[in-house]
Amino acid sequence: MSNVHNLLQHLDKVKRTGPCTWSARCPAHDDKGPSLVITEKDDGREIVLVHCFAGCDVNDVLGAVGLTFADLYPPRVVDHRVGPDRRTFPAADVLRAIAFEALVVSAAAVALLAGEPFSEIDRERLILAVSRIQAAMTAAGVTHHG
């Protein structure tokens, strides 16, 4: 079972809203309608994004169904015999990273435009998304002036 489906089986009123996107009731608060969005970005690393538009912390959402971040992400296997890879990043990988972080920025924009409360954790994640987009551009060799 994929990691996203491990989470989805613990949620109520799950509805597929796109190819790799679902909505559900948030288990961390008394959710009358689906305010939780779950997105799976399967690029070989199976990234799961969980966002509650009511402002619940992801740890609270996962804890309410008895899960942790470790349940969403498989353990990383590190081969210490292999040296660091010094190659530049393939353009497709950079674009995937930027697309994922753009999804985070988009979710934040939707919440702000809807007048939803924006928690400190949401702000920190938005700042991290912007930082990762800039890092991806740098990794791709794209110069950006601001």
State the helix-helix crossing angle for 120-139 and 91-113, rounded to 10 degrees. Answer: 150
pLDDT-derived band of residue 64, with 50, 70 and 90 as boundaries?
very high
DSSP 116: -
Within the chain, strands assigned E span 12-18, 21-25, 36-41, 47-52
Domain ranges of the chain: 1-79, 87-146
Cβ neighbourhood burial of 111 (10 Å; 0-12, 13-18, 19+): buried
Cβ neighbourhood burial of 56 (10 Å; 0-12, 13-18, 19+): buried
| 49, pLDDT greater than 70 | yes
Does residue 12 or residue 71 have the better pLDDT? 12
Helix (H) or strand (E) holding 70: helix 69-72
Q: Which pLDDT belongs to residue 15? A: 92
Which of 93, 90, 130 shows the shortest CA–CA distance to 109?
Answer: 130
Give the pLDDT confidence of 82-103 residue by residue, as tens digits.
555 544 567 777 788 888 889 9
pTM of the model: 0.50
Cβ neighbourhood burial of 123 (10 Å; 0-12, 13-18, 19+): exposed
Q: Which pLDDT belongs to residue 139? A: 73
pLDDT-derived band of residue 80, with 50, 70 and 90 as boundaries?
low
pLDDT-derived band of residue 27, with 50, 70 and 90 as boundaries?
very high
**Order of all β-strands in the sheet with 36-41:** 12-18, 21-25, 36-41, 47-52
| 47, pLDDT greater than 80 | no
